Amino acid sequence: MAHPKRKISKQRRDKRRTHIKAVTLQLAKCSNCGATVRYHTVCRECGHYRGKLAIKTENTL
């Protein structure tokens, strides 16, 4: 196994880890049925996206 020749400083270690972030989901309300959905995603409840029917679901009339 390889062993480090020098100690990696906290600053250098933290710079390497900056791109990893815990991201919270961006949620919005569906304009058709009012259910909470993720941004830029088809509503699972009614199948609408941006006010238009995108997919047929069991709840679609």
For the segment 16-32, the average pLDDT, to the nearest whole number, is: 85
Q: What is the pLDDT of residue 10?
A: 95
Q: Which domain does 49 fall in, by range?
A: 26-61
**CA angle, residues 55, 59, 61, in degrees to nearest 5:** 85
H helices then E strands: how many in the chain?
A: 1, 4
User: Mean pLDDT over residues 32-45, rounded?
Assistant: 92
Whether 32 is covered by a domain: the verdict is: yes
Q: Is residue 7's pLDDT more than 90?
A: yes
Q: Please provide the average confidence, as pLDDT, over all residues in the chain.
A: 88
Count of domains for the chain = 1
Residue 51: predicted pLDDT: 87
**Has residue 47 been placed in a domain?**
yes
DSSP conformational letter for 16: H
